[in-house]
Amino acid sequence: MRARTKRLWGVGVAALLLASAAALASVALRQHADLFYTPGLIAEKGLPDEGKRVRIGGWVQTGSLAYGDAADMSFLIEDNTGETVMVSYTGIAPDLFREGEGVVATGVFDSDGAFTAENILAKHDENYEPRELKKAGPAAS
């Protein structure tokens, strides 16, 4: 074979491998991507497919947090549209989780439209200060 033909075959094989890798990555990412929804987006577009893993984000509505047996809890997530989503969760909530604060819950909707969270992440701003330091007050100079 001539050098030109070898080079052409090499470029062709490299292009085929690159296209295969891109297709494989695309399929893998599509299967494992958690879509992010807000209560307003759910009200606008409807519920995601039953059993599809999604993330719901917003603020924990003040006065909506209710504790059940053992480590069960339920609460409403709201956003600036006025829409809410009821979330039920079994487990220990993060330390920063409280009413009026930001939260991202990962879980699934069932056939009745109820959201069951598998994981809860509490959000805070860049000015986070632990409760223990807030009680101590400003440092004396």
- Domains within the chain, CATH numbers bracketed: 32-122 (2.40.50.140)
User: Could you give the C-alpha distances from 83 to 34, 50, 57, 59, 86, in angstroms and in order?
Assistant: 21, 20, 12, 11, 10
Q: How much is the pLDDT for 141?
A: 42
d(CA 99, CA 75): 9
Q: In the chain, which stretches have pLDDT less than 70?
A: 31-34, 124-141
What is the predicted pLDDT for the residue at 88?
Answer: 93
30-59: pLDDT as tens digits:
766 667 888 888 888 888 878 788 889 888
